[in-house]
Structures are given as structure tokens and as C-alpha cells.
Amino acid sequence: SDAELDARIRAAKETLGDRAVILGHFYQRDEVVQYADFVGDSFQLANAALTKPDAEAIIFCGVHFMAETADILSSEGQAVILPNLAAGCSMADMADEDSVEECWEQLEELFGSAPDSEGRAPVIPVTYMNSSAALKAFCGRNGGIVCTSSNAKTVLEWAFERGQRVLFFPDQHLGRNTAKALGVPLEQMPMWNPRKELGGNDEQTLQDSRVILWHGFCSVHKRFNVGQIEKARADFPGVNVIVHPECPMEVVDAADGAGSTDFIKKAIAAATEPTTFAIGTEINMVNRLAAENPQHTIFCLDPVICPCSTMYRIHPGYLAWVLEELVEGRVVNRITVDDSVKDNAKIALERMLAARP
């Protein structure tokens, strides 16, 4: 029962004390978030993994790419545990290493690898945090960098200083929304399409590009649309619409604000008068914000309840299990990034951490 699970988790946590730290992403359900020592967006959670070097284990209540990142950044010998190994991310799966390598080769064939007169490389690869460690390593060894939704602008500026153009993966929407906010015209943001004979990118389009977008997207955020915003504005005049930048461009353009999960949380915290907020992000987070801020009216733009199904795979039962195993001295569901990948991935992550949001 829920009460039994609660007692088991609390007892194991108490026995472990400082030996284990539990991190939770904002999209986790309340039944899990209540046990987290730290809750945050993906950037904050990457930083949190750095700040507990003495804990034996980091229990990551989030998804696979976040746990991999924690393993890359955590100290030697620390174990990162993902309570359910099936908690992946469909967007991260949309860019695999082989396809990105193939794209890179084709771009190299077209542009060569020599810098221009200002020392800028032909292309800088930028990967969204929501990607495999292998792709972060790819960026590390090719002069590239990682970004999250909270520092994407800073990171793109970093990349534009060093490169004539950017290859951005896996999320087309974050790439497009961020580049647009920096003034890059849409016609300079082609979507990568290798199949030239089937109407793929022609050379001139790629020559003229500033950001080459990958075709990935988040299945949760692509559900938001402009009609929902129009309806919210009609039903609640004066409503404040805030969305996540993984939403399509038209949605971000029609909203009053867009930013990471932490940005959304802070935008609500900054409202001094009772306000109506329509939020375009994952439902567990929106419901929690509504419960924590009863002075405001807060609802999700999408009337159909749609959680991130992979985040939802972290059930309190798995949390109880991994904690109890740890009490017995056994590490289960450990996420380890191979050393051959780790070093280069760390380079790309450290570039991001140095280019503060």
C-alpha cells in the first residue's frame, strides 16, 4: 500500500543518511518528489550532482540522460542510480550517434574543417542536454557544447563566436526558438535532410545557414498549439501564458513568456498580485505549481492530461527498492558511462557550466 511504501522509503532514507542523495526533476510526480533532497530543472540537477561529492550514491528520479550526466559530473566512485531503467526520453532517442556522425561527415565534405579568417570553425555542434552521453562526447571532441533550456541562448552565442554556423540536435523546437530569439531568420535555419535526391538540403541552403536543425521533438510539448492559447485568452482575459521552449515556434510566439521549468516556476513566484497563468509544460509540474500557489489560478494549456510517460516510470515502489538494496550494501540500476565516452562528454558539459545562464 502507499502507506507501507512511504514507511519503507522513509526508513531506508533515514538509515542511509548522508550516504545517499535523492535528486528529483520537476516533472516527477508528487509521490516521488516528496522524498527528493533537491528538486530542479535539468541544469540545476546537473549542478546538484557536482555538489554532493561525499554521498556514496546519487538516486536520480528523472530520466536516463540526466542520470548519465550525473555520472559524468559526479566524483570518482560515486554510484548514480536510476530507480527504473526504462525511464528514457523519446526525444533523446531521436538523435543516434551514427546518424549524427553521418551528418557531420557530409557537412565536413561540404565545408571542410579549416577555420575562416576570423578563426571560426565551419560548424559547431550543440547538443541539448536531452541526448545520450555519446552525443555529448561527440560535441566534446568536435569543438562543441551542451545546452539546457535555461542556458540555450548563452550557449548559442558561445557557439556563434566560435563558428560560422551551428548544428543543433536533437530538439528542433528549442533550436529554432532560441535562434529566432537571437535574430536568426527562419530561412537560415534549415532542418537537416541528408536525402538530397529526395528533396533534401541543397548546398546553397546549407552554405547560407546559421543553424542546422535536427528533426527531434518532445512528444509532450508538441501537443501544445495556438488554438489552446487563443481559448485561454478568450476564457480568461488578462491570462499570463508561459510555455516551455520545447513547444513549437508558433506556440512560443503566441505566449507571453517561454523558458525552462525553473523559469516557469520563477515567473509564477514573481507575480505579486493574484494572477491567472496558463502553462505549457508537463502536467505533474503544472499541478504542483497550482497546489503550491493557491493565491493564483494556474492551469495547463492542454485540457487532456498528458504526463511525460517516461518520467512517470519512476514509481515510489522502485525508489523503495533501490534504497533498501543500498542499505544492504547492494547497488542496483547503476548508470555508468564508459570511460572512453566520459572524458569527451565532460569537456562539452564543462564548456556549458563555464558559459553560465
Q: Judged by CB under 6 A, which of 28, 130, 150, 151 binds ligand SF4?
A: 130
- How many whole angstroms separate alpha carbon 130 and alpha carbon 5? 30
- For 116, the grid coordinates are 575562416
Q: Judged by CB under 6 A, which of 228, 260, 284, 287 binds ligand 13P?
A: 260
| Total number of residues that touch ligand 13P (CB under 6 A) | 12
* Interaction between residue 84 and ligand SF4 (CB under 6 A): no
The one of ligand SF4, ligand 13P, none whose footprint includes residue 261, by CB under 5 to 8 A per kind, is ligand 13P
Contact at 8 Å (CB) between 158 and 351?
A: yes
At a CB cut-off of 8 Å and minimum separation 6, what does 277 contact? Answer: 239, 240, 241, 242, 267, 268, 271, 289, 296, 297, 298, 299
Residue closest to 180 by CA, chosen among 123, 241, 252 = 252
* Interaction between residue 68 and ligand SF4 (CB under 6 A): no
Contact pattern for ligand 13P over residues 39 through 78, marking x by CB under 6 A = --xxx-----------------------------------
Q: Judged by CB under 6 A, which of 261, 287, 333, 344 binds ligand 13P?
A: 261
Identify the residue whose cell numbers are 560560422: 164
Give the shortest CB-117-to-ligand SF4 separation in angstroms: 39
- How many whole angstroms separate alpha carbon 326 and alpha carbon 21? 12
* Interaction between residue 218 and ligand SF4 (CB under 6 A): yes
Nearer to ligand 13P, 9 or 129 (CB): 129
Identify the DSSP state of 75: P
- How many whole angstroms separate alpha carbon 235 and alpha carbon 126? 40
Give the shortest CB-157-to-ligand SF4 separation in angstroms: 23
- For 91, the grid coordinates are 526525444
Give the shortest CB-319-to-ligand SF4 separation in angstroms: 18
Identify the residue whose cell numbers are 535539468: 42
Pairing state between β 276-280 and 297-300: parallel
* Interaction between residue 149 and ligand SF4 (CB under 6 A): no
Nearer to ligand 13P, 162 or 265 (CB): 265
* Interaction between residue 319 and ligand SF4 (CB under 6 A): no
Give the shortest CB-179-to-ligand 13P separation in angstroms: 18
* Interaction between residue 287 and ligand 13P (CB under 6 A): no
Q: 216 — phi, psi (to 5°)?
A: -75, 160
Contact pattern for ligand 13P over residues 205 through 244, marking x by CB under 6 A = -------------x--------------------------
- For 46, the grid coordinates are 546537473
Residue closest to 100 by CA, chosen among 8, 170, 30 = 170
* Interaction between residue 41 and ligand SF4 (CB under 6 A): no
* Interaction between residue 89 and ligand SF4 (CB under 6 A): yes
Give the shortest CB-148-to-ligand 13P separation in angstroms: 4
Q: 273 — phi, psi (to 5°)?
A: -100, 150
| Helix H or strand E encompassing 205 | helix 203-207
Contact pattern for ligand 13P over residues 113 through 152, marking x by CB under 6 A = -----------------x-----------------xxx--
Q: Judged by CB under 6 A, which of 279, 311, 319, 345 binds ligand SF4?
A: 311
312 is in an annotated binding site: no
Task: Enumerate long-range contacts of 39-42, CB under 8 Å, 24 or more apart.
Answer: 40/262, 41/148, 41/149, 41/150, 41/260, 41/261, 41/262, 42/66, 42/69, 42/129, 42/130, 42/148, 42/149, 42/150, 42/260, 42/261
Residue ranges in contact with ligand SF4 by CB under 6 A: 63, 89-91, 130, 218-220, 282, 308, 310-311
Residue ranges in contact with ligand 13P by CB under 6 A: 41-43, 89, 130, 148-150, 218, 246, 260-261
The binding site for iminosuccinate comprises 25, 42, 128-130, 149, 244-246, 261
The binding site comprises 25, 42, 89, 128-130, 149, 218, 244-246, 261, 308
